[in-house]
């Protein structure tokens, strides 16, 4: 390792660490109480689940595969899935605006969004 390598590594780590920290703080600050988990399958919306209601929803696909979405104490998680890699199940639970869980084999995306009543558009009406 030469000096340049060390500079490169430090630069990447500082820049990305900074961006990660800032986006994390911003999403935390932006999250409202009316946040919903939006489930999207292959680009089209499947359903919206409010985070303040405890639910367990099993999303079944035509080919027999499934993902089980669990909302508990305002935290959203995929508790069970048929996919081979189980990345979505091992993914840490999400609760802040903009966070998401992705299941690539089933083309399923769960994203946390703020409730509509807290939108800027909603307030100006």
Nearer to another protein, 24 or 55 (CB): 24
The 8-class DSSP code of residue 92 comes to: P
Residue 12: exposure state from Cβ atoms within 10 A (0-12, 13-18, ≥19): exposed
Indicate which single residue of 45, 107, 119, 122 sits in contact with another protein (rule: CB under 8 A): 107
Is residue 92 at the binding interface for another protein, with CB under 8 A as the rule?
A: yes
Token pair 């189980």 is at which residue?
86
Is residue 29 at the binding interface for another protein, with CB under 8 A as the rule?
A: no
Ranges of beta strands (E only) in the chain are: 36-41, 44-50, 55-60, 66-72, 75-81, 100-103, 108-113
In the complex, what is the shortest distance from the CB of residue 125 to another protein, in angstroms, rounded to a whole number? 26
Which region among 49-57, 61-69, 92-100, 114-122 touches another protein (by CB under 8 A)? 92-100
Is residue 120 at the binding interface for another protein, with CB under 8 A as the rule?
A: no
């Amino acid at each position: 390792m030469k000096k340049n390598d060390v500079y490169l590594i430090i630069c990447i780590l500082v820049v990305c660490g900074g961006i990660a920290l800032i986006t994390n703080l911003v999403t935390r600050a932006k999250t409202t109480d009316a946040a919903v988990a939006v489930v999207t399958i292959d680009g089209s919306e499947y359903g919206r689940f409010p985070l303040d209601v405890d639910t367990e929803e099993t999303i079944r696909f035509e080919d027999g595969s499934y993902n089980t979405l669990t909302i508990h104490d305002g935290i959203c998680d995929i508790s069970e899935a048929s996919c081979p890699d189980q990345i979505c199940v091992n993914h840490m639970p999400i609760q802040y605006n903009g966070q998401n869980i992705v299941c690539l084999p089933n083309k399923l995306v769960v994203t946390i969004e703020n409730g509509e009543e807290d939108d800027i558009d909603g307030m100006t009406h």
